[in-house]
Amino acid sequence: MAQFLVTGGSGFIGSHLCRKLLGEGHGVRVLDNLSSGKRANLSDVAGDIDFHEADLRDEDAVQRAVEGVEYILHHAAVASVQTSVEEPLIEQQINSVGTLNLLEAARQAGVRRVVFAASAAAYGNDPRVPKREDMRPTPESPYAISKLAGEYYCGVYDRLYGLETVCLRYFNVYGPRQDPASPYSGVISIFAKRMLNGLVPFVHGDGLQTRDFVSVHDVVAANMLAHQVESAQGQVYNIGSGHRSSLMDLLTALNAVLSSDIQAEFVEARAGDVRDSLADISKAQSELGYRPSMDLERGLREVIEWMRAE
């Protein structure tokens, strides 16, 4: 079995990755500054994880975290578009420079492969759908720029230094342990929490903007494939469901799951948000063997069940 470093491992996606890796018998180390992640997300497996509480900007801490590691699943980031708009310098230091720190430490430590959590935000407001990996990036926010910079750094380290990298452009990830109170949360967890409590959800804009909602379980599966498939080295892949839903579609689906009839309250659109998003996942399907398995209705039921249990 291999030794993995999961950056951002106490966060939403990272905590799911850690459990998957442990379940397959791998060694797991986590690097997380707990700015958005929670130790509680790993409470049941904490004894099996080598936890390093540190920031990506701390070069010495990053170097210690990568020692003896074969694979890195890099998910630590400021993951909020709105936060990046409000605090662009801090966001760039963590996402762009932090990723560069990690890649350099990985190169020096002889890490075999880094899987980078990239973002569909790279496509910006290009009106063409579905989004294909060969489309020209048109980032619309500091967050999107930082994630795209991470991709470029990964590509350079792969070609120039021989550090294997794979970039996964996530679309709208949702699932259990996505904290609806966090500014980093997706619209599904926020809507679900409010509606579960009988409250009206706030829709920014007209609600007709579309998103490709992908279950965290499918994202975990994509990471497992990305670190294993030899031919994936140096590649960028869309990771989504291959289907899109408007925010009004989401509201209808949640009402169906909850057996409710809650209407939305419309508020001003947010700066930096994209209008339409849909992944062309054919490259990931053909080259990685990626097959999304969770449809939106089943995924929403899982989220609601988790929230009720919490």
Query: Which residues are the active-site residues?
Result: 143
Instruction: List the one residue out of 14, 109, 92 whose CA is nearest residue 57.
Output: 92
Residues 104, 258 contacting (CB under 8 angstroms):
no
Joined tokens for residue 54:
């540190």
Here the tokens at position 284 are 């990931």
The rounded distance, in Å, linking the Cα atoms of 282 and 33 is 35
Write out the two tokens for 177: 């342990």
**DSSP class per residue in 97-153:** IHHHHHHHHHHHHT--EEEEEEEGGGGTT---SSB-TTSPP---SHHHHHHHHHHHH
Rounded Cα distance between 113 and 71, Å, is: 5
CA distance 212 to 234: 24
36-54 core/surface letters (b: 16 or more CB in 10 A; e: else): bbbeebbeeeeeebebbeb
